[in-house]
């Protein structure tokens, strides 16, 4: 048997769904594990809206992480229903599930997610995130013991996704649970999403950071132009709002908010795409888009 054949036999590859209630750090974790920022993050809940793949390739394994929107019990609007479908759909056909919770904090939202996991067939690793916020780590032990009693987990792993604490141990457990299989993606690829999608998401991240609690959930962002001209990447992005009154908030007095968003997003785009970026932003109104199934599909919210 050749060395190449032996490597193929021992190589592991599979899908790993990351699921949890909103704002437990799923996107921060997957960005750290993959080693690239492809999933936007924010302190505000429900920042992630789509199911995204993050691909981590190493000589002995390829882990395909499935980042998901936060699951929430109340899903009145069409956008919320879409995000719940995206999250629960990620549980089908995966090889491992990471159930992410916040250290020393159990909520009704966690209970709701745990109930959704009752029918899951893949092994589940309970991941206790944000342990960096706990001064006395001994207080974590009763929380971990109680979590372990809630259902049978493959293991309970305390981590800090922000600082990378114990993430190597988590990755070792994941690889051990994956099936023996050849890689499904090229080793250079780190996500299944297009550059156009990533550009729009970076703009939405900056909007979420700069605006208040409510307005980011009434925004959608779409890349309309993406062209390379020699060493310059020209990107045009439309920011959709639901009402005319919201347009002024996004633009800001004398255009200050929009200029700051554009400057921050352009900086991150240049780092991500590795070249100089010329970015244009427009703000347009699409009445009631977040509660309109057809409007959602036109804006790229497709199951």
Query: Using one digit for the tens of pLDDT, what is the confidence trace for 225-268?
Result: 999 998 999 999 999 999 888 899 999 999 999 999 999 999 99
Average pLDDT, the chain: 87
Query: Which domains, from first to last, does the chain contain?
Result: 3-177 (3.40.50.300), 195-298 (3.30.300.20)
**Other Cβ atoms within 10 Å of 147 Cβ, number:** 19
Assign 197 to helix, strand or coil: helix
Model confidence pLDDT, tens digit, residues 178-205: 999 999 999 999 988 889 999 998 998 8
Instruction: Identify the pLDDT of residue 119.
Output: 84
Average pLDDT of span 101-111: 93
Please report which confidence band the pLDDT of residue 6 belongs to, taking 50, 70 and 90 as the band edges.
very low
Predicted pLDDT of residue 68: 79
The residue-averaged pLDDT of 291-303 equals: 76
Tell me how far apart the alpha carbons of residues 70 and 47 are, in angstroms, rounded to a whole number: 9
With CA atoms as reference, report the closest residue to 127 among 172, 83, 162, 97. 97
Residue 118 burial by Cβ neighbours in a 10 Å radius (0-12, 13-18, 19+) = exposed
Give 67: exposed, middle or buried? Use CB within 10 Å, 0-12, 13-18, 19+. Answer: buried
The owner of tokens 């990447």 is: 233
Q: Are 195 and 226 in contact (CB under 8 A)?
A: yes
Instruction: Round to whole Å and give the CA distance between 150 and 1.
Output: 46
Among the listed ranges 104-118, 127-141, 204-218, which one has the minimum average pLDDT value?
A: 204-218
The answer, yes or no, to whether residue 3 has pLDDT greater than 70, is no
Residue 8 has a pLDDT of: 45
Least confident range from 112-126, 157-171, 205-219, 238-252: namely 205-219
**CA atoms of 169 and 291, how far apart (whole Å):** 42
Instruction: Kindly report which listed range (56-65, 76-85, 285-294) carries the lowest average pLDDT score.
Output: 76-85
pLDDT (0 to 100) of residue 108:
92
**pLDDT at residue 39 in the model:** 76
* Rounded Cα–Cα distance for residues 296 and 85 (Å): 13
Assigned token pair, 128: 């206790």
Distant-in-sequence, close-in-space partners of 89: CB < 8 Å, separation ≥ 6:
51, 303
- For tokens 């987990």, the residue is 153
Neighbouring-strand partners of residue 40 = none
Strand partners, 58: 61
| Residue 299 pLDDT > 80 | no
Q: Which residue has the tokens 């921050």?
A: 264
User: Which pLDDT score, from 0 to 100, does residue 146 have?
Assistant: 95
């Amino acid at each position: 048997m050749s060395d190449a054949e032996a490597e193929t036999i021992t190589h592991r590859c599979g899908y790993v769904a990351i699921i949890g209630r909103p704002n437990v750090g799923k996107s921060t974790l997957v960005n750290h594990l993959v080693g690239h920022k492809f999933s936007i993050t924010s302190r505000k809940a429900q920042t992630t809206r789509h199911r995204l793949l993050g691909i981590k390739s190493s000589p002995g394994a390829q882990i395909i992480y499935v980042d998901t929107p936060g699951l929430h019990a109340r899903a009145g609007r069409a956008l919320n229903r879409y995000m719940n479908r995206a999250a629960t759909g990620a549980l089908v056909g995966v090889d491992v599930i990471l159930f992410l919770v916040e250290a020393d904090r159990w909520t009704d939202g966690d209970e709701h997610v745990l109930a959704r996991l009752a029918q899951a067939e893949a092994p589940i690793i309970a991941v206790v995130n944000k342990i960096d916020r706990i001064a006395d780590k001994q207080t974590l032990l009763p929380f971990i013991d109680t979590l372990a009693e809630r259902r049978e987990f493959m293991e309970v792993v305390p981590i800090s996704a922000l600082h990378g604490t114990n993430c190597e141990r988590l990755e070792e457990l994941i690889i051990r649970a994956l099936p023996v299989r050849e890689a499904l993606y090229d080793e250079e690829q780190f996500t299944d999403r297009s550059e156009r999608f990533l550009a729009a998401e970076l703009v939405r991240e900056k909007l979420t950071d700069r605006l208040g609690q409510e307005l980011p959930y009434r925004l959608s962002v779409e890349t309309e132009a993406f062209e390379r001209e020699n060493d310059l990447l020209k990107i045009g992005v439309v920011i959709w709002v639901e009402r005319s009154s919201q347009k002024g908030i996004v633009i800001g007095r004398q255009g200050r908010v929009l200029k700051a968003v554009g400057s921050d997003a352009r900086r991150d785009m240049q780092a991500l795409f590795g070249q100089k970026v010329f970015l244009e932003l427009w703000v347009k109104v699409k009445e009631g888009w977040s509660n309109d199934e057809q409007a959602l599909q036109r804006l790229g919210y497709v199951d």
